[in-house]
Amino acid sequence: MKYGILDIARVVRSKNSGPFELVLDIMFKDHKIFETLRETKQINKELIAAAYRLTPEDIHNIVWFAPAHAVKVVMHRRIVSGAPGDSDVYGAQQHAPLLGLTFEL
C-alpha cells in the first residue's frame, strides 16, 4: 500500500547547511516505518534529485539516524543563501517537494 509522506512522518522540514547546501529532515512516526524505508532504499539520491529537479550528484549525502527515526538529506542549494534571486534566505521553505512523495510500506 502507498502512503504519502505526511501519513508516515511526524516532522518534514528544511534548513540551510551553510550558504551552499540545504538539509532536508524527515522524522518518521515509528521505528518500523524508519527501518522499512531504510532497508528498501526508497529514499535515495535519484528520488530526491527528481523531486527537486537536480542531478543525483547534487545530493551530497543521505544519513539515517535510528535514535530519532529520521533521515537527513544534504543537497546542493540552487541559489546561494542571500544572493540576488534568493527567496528563502534560511532555507526553511524548501521541504515542499517532499510533500508529494509516496512510499510503499
Per-residue pLDDT, 65: 98
Per-residue pLDDT, 36: 97
Other C-beta atoms closer than 10 Å to the C-beta of 6 total 11
| Domain parsing of the chain, residue ranges | 2-104
Q: Where are the beta strands (DSSP E) in the chain?
A: 2-4, 9-16, 21-28, 59-65, 70-76, 102-104
pLDDT tens per residue across span 22-66: 999 999 999 999 999 999 999 999 999 999 999 999 999 999 999
Per-residue pLDDT, 28: 98
Percent of the chain topping pLDDT 90: 97
pTM over 0.75: yes
Q: Which fold has domain 2-104?
A: Alpha-Beta Plaits (3.30.70)
> What whole-number distance in Å separates Cα of residue 10 and Cα of residue 100?
15
Q: What is the DSSP letter of 50?
A: H
Per-residue pLDDT, 88: 93
